Homo-oligomer: A and B are copies of this chain.
């Protein structure tokens, strides 16, 4: 279900393999390497229980320079105490030795089961081989090796012009967003050959993440292992991007767009999800209040099960608006499903209209628009439906 042709940015290669961490024998270990040290930035989980690889990588990435990412699935190396830290460091060493670079230039990332020590023999055995197999055609394999409960790999790319030079951005991600609100690890790696000033890389990343991944997962509901990294090789030959560069906005838009596409893939994957629903709130007092309403509706278990049941149960939506805590006036609220208005002035428009709304809900993607008619604040959130497969997948994830 890869929807983009993958255009690898210049200066990066990768490899992936099955190292045996996953009992299933599926791919579970991957290495991404730049030709030389490159500018980088990262955003990390705000969970107070932080996995060992996050601790190690956050410190290294903070310096703004990095050359490789070693990522494994099948084991999160979280809640593993001192052993976990030693193991995460050793993973980085193995990659550094294999690539003949400084250990400090290796970011490590893990996702999978919590509380089980990493099977280090898998790393000792396979990391050296990965370094020998690096290739610029293997990024799809990397995305596959990052998967845990993901039903499909998440990769996409963009090509744009900066200073009339072709620049490429590639995004790799794993995670099933909204449907897994409490602790699914979200990993995303962005590689670009654009030249970008080190000090504005983090702010660009933060803005894009806020408009994409943060619109599908609830802020407080972070996992122990969440991590988004960006690496910029600069090989596109553009003048280094800064806030003042005339094409800065172009790059920023492309990155936003790329991350939003990855975020929507996560929702669509949503561990058994069958629908991608945009909750669009308009007419709120402020943009922040609109976002709060959108998030509250998008995370309502009852709203999500109604989506699964294709039941235009707007009562559940309006009730969620009511407990969102923001300023509303029930008698002003309008709700529509795509172009079908189902609630006007806080009152339902009857069963005929609901039948039309039910037709909208049969689609794989649709938008629920909630107009609060207070002021002009807007905000959106993406969500999925909640069906039987969510329970099936999560009730026996470990077994």
Where the two chains meet, the residues of A that have a C-beta atom closer than 8 Å to any C-beta of B are 46-50, 76, 78-81, 113-116, 180-184, 220-224, 300-303, 305-306, 308-309, 311, 313-316, 318-325, 328, 330-331, 343, 345-348, 386-388, 390-392, 394-399
Contact = CB atoms under 8 A, between A and B. Distances in A.
**Chain A interface mostly:** loop
Given A49-B319, A311-B399, A347 B115 contact: yes
Nearest to A297: B182
B48 A395 contact: no
Contacts of A391: 305, 308, 386-388, 390-391
B398 A313 contact: yes
Contact of A323 (B47, B184, B396): B47
B399 A320 contact: no
A114 B386 contact: no
Contacts of A308: 391, 395
Given A114-B319, A221-B323, A390-B391, A330 B49 contact: yes
A311 B398 CA distance: 8
A322 B394 contact: no
Contact of A182 (B76, B302, B348): B302
The count of identical subunits is 2
A318 B78 CA distance: 10
Contacts of A223: 319
Contact of A325 (B220, B314, B321): B220
Nearest to A351: B116
A70 B230 CA distance: 62
Nearest to A185: B319
A311 B391 CA distance: 13
Contacts of A346: 49, 79, 81
A182 B303 contact: yes
27 contacts: A49-B319, A49-B328, A78-B315, A79-B330, A79-B343, A81-B345, A81-B347, A114-B313, A115-B318, A115-B343, A115-B348, A182-B300, A182-B319, A183-B320, A220-B324, A221-B323, A224-B318, A305-B395, A306-B394, A306-B397, A309-B396, A309-B397, A311-B397, A387-B391, A388-B391, A388-B392, A391-B391
